[in-house]
Amino acid sequence: MSYMALNSRYDKMIYNRCGNSGLKLPAISLGLWHNFGDNDSFENSRLLVQKAFDLGITHFDLANNYGPPEGSAEENLGRILKMDLAPYRDEMVISTKAGYYMWPGPYGDWGSKKYLTASLDKSLHRMGLDYVDVFYHHRPDPNTPLEETMNTLDLMVRQGKALYIGLSNYKAEDTQMAVSILKKLGTPFVISQVSYSLLNRWIEEKLQQVLVDEGIGTIAFIPLAQGLLTNKYLKGIPVDSRAAGTSKFLSSKDITEEKLKKIYTLNEIAKERGQSLAQMGLAWVLREGKVTSALIGASKVSQLEENVAALDNLEFTIEELKKIEEALI
Ligand code: NDP
């Protein structure tokens, strides 16, 4: 059956300006790190992308290595675009990245011009795209001169292969140095992709202020701590959860008593607000407008619906914020 996007898709979503740039991003974006590889059901991946778009999620985040196997999430998105969403390409913001291991030998990892150039070309080919909206360097490379990496990102924009540039997992100092190079080059560095959630607040110490001062947007990844900040692990580990599956990144060992104690208390605070824990977790990440978009993952369409409904209540009372701080100690 051919897909037609819902006419109501823009009715409820909030679109936030990405730093000082002209680009707007949905308050909730969808990442294709898990659930979009060749080991996952293609029909489910397809439904997730369709449903996300129908809910106003215009931004889809990828990386060269998402799968498994590496590259397959981009290939599957390419198939979904061809089958369903190609007519809507100008309504979508698609990002990809390079910076982690992708192929053997000295040119398939980190931040050299050699690696990044080849990787973006391969990503475009897998997705069947002429350009990505945002290309990220996925992590800082301590051994390649920052100038080389930044010059390569600048070149990608000049070649028309990326519209905007982002950096991911760059700390405050790395970001500041990158900004000074990219400003001189006139490169549209508009977004920083960083981990941030109720259980992981490292950006608050320094980086967040740098991004605000420099007018760079923030997209928060793993905002639900891979599912821990939902009600799914409150009564054990469900068989269809990430922790019970084959993910290398979350296992039962990560669900500690210490974390569960916090999660139970947070769940009670969420209930008092009339929200699920997932909804409160996302609202909290987006509070005060410092974060442009919360970059979620989802394995089920129902999770997308629940998570987008977080936008119905993004306000926190001082009392609620105090209770949350106490729960996190
Ligand atoms: P989340 O913290 O949002 O976790 C998503 C997972 O939580 C889902 O797959 C699902 O897992 C569970 N979940 C989501 N919503 C609900 C709900 N309402 N109720 C119950 N369970 C729910 O993010 P991810 O860890 O998936 O990461 C999101 C994105 O961030 C990635 O796709 C990627 O784009 C980006 N990222 C970037 C990195 C970087 O270095 N730049 C690193 C990591 C991620 P389940 O299978 O258990 O149902």
Q: Which residues pair with 134 in a beta bridge?
A: 95, 164
Asked if the structure places residue 246 within a domain, the reply is: no
Residue nearest to atom 32 of ligand 1 (CA): 31
Question: What is d(CA 198, CA 189) in angstroms, rounded to the nearest whole number?
Answer: 27
The CA angle 220-43-78, to the nearest 5 degrees, is: 65
**Closest ligand 1 atom to 276 CA:** 18
Phi and psi at residue 61, to the nearest 5°: -110, 130
Asked if the structure places residue 241 within a domain, the reply is: no
Q: Which residues pair with 218 in a beta bridge?
A: 192
Asked if the structure places residue 69 within a domain, the reply is: yes
Q: Give the total number of structural domains in the chain.
A: 1
Asked if the structure places residue 324 within a domain, the reply is: no
Is the model's pLDDT at 88 over the cut of 90? yes
Tally Cβ neighbours within 10 Å of residue 97. Answer: 27
Asked if the structure places residue 321 within a domain, the reply is: no
Question: What is d(CA 28, CA 60) in angstroms, rounded to the nearest whole number?
Answer: 10
Residue of 141, 226, 277 to test ligand 1 pocket, by largest number of atoms within 8 Å of CB = 226
Q: What would the mean pLDDT of 300-304 be, rounded to a whole number?
A: 98
Residue 195, exposed/middle/buried by CB under 10 A (0-12, 13-18, 19+)?
middle
**Structural domain for 152, as ranges:** 11-232+277-315
Instruction: Write down the H helix ranges in the chain.
Output: 42-54, 72-80, 113-127, 146-158, 172-185, 207-214, 257-272, 277-286, 301-308, 318-328
Is the model's pLDDT at 174 over the cut of 80? yes
Instruction: Classify 168 as helix, strand or coil.
Output: strand
Q: Which token pair is 315?
A: 């306000």
Q: What would the mean pLDDT of 160-179 be, rounded to a whole number?
A: 98
Asked if the structure places residue 254 within a domain, the reply is: no
Model confidence band, residue 152 (pLDDT cutoffs 50, 70, 90):
very high
**Closest ligand 1 atom to 243 CA:** 47
Model confidence band, residue 2 (pLDDT cutoffs 50, 70, 90):
confident
Residue nearest to atom 7 of ligand 1 (CA): 227
Question: What is d(CA 149, CA 147) in angstroms, rounded to the nearest whole number?
Answer: 6
Residue with tokens 């990844």: 221
Give residues with Cβ within 8 angstroms of 294, minimum separation 6: 27, 28, 29, 219, 220, 223, 282, 285, 286
Asked if the structure places residue 1 within a domain, the reply is: no
* 277-286 helix and 301-308 helix, angle to the nearest 10 degrees: 50
Contact 267, 228 (CB under 8 A): no
For position 181, which CATH number holds? 3.20.20.100
pLDDT in tens, 183-236: 999 999 999 999 999 999 999 999 999 999 999 999 999 999 999 999 999 999
Residue with tokens 């599912």: 227
**Closest ligand 1 atom to 35 CA:** 9
Asked if the structure places residue 227 within a domain, the reply is: yes
**Closest ligand 1 atom to 168 CA:** 41
Tally Cβ neighbours within 10 Å of residue 194. Answer: 24
Nearest Cα neighbor of 129 from 166, 100, 158, 89 is: 89
pLDDT (0 to 100) of residue 271: 98
**Closest ligand 1 atom to 247 CA:** 46
pLDDT in tens, 240-287: 999 999 999 999 999 999 999 999 999 999 999 999 999 999 999 999
Residue nearest to atom 37 of ligand 1 (CA): 221
pLDDT in tens, 74-86: 999 999 999 999 9
Residue of 76, 94, 200, 221 to test ligand 1 pocket, by largest number of atoms within 8 Å of CB = 221
Give the binding-site residues of ligand 1, using a 6 Å CB cut-off.
Answer: 31-35, 61, 138, 168-169, 193, 221-227, 230, 232, 241-242, 278, 295-299, 303, 306-307
Question: What is d(CA 53, CA 173) in angstroms, rounded to the nearest whole number?
Answer: 36
Q: What would the mean pLDDT of 46-59 be, rounded to a whole number?
A: 98
pLDDT in tens, 89-141: 999 999 999 999 999 999 999 999 999 999 999 999 999 999 999 999 999 99
Q: What would the mean pLDDT of 25-48 be, rounded to a whole number?
A: 98
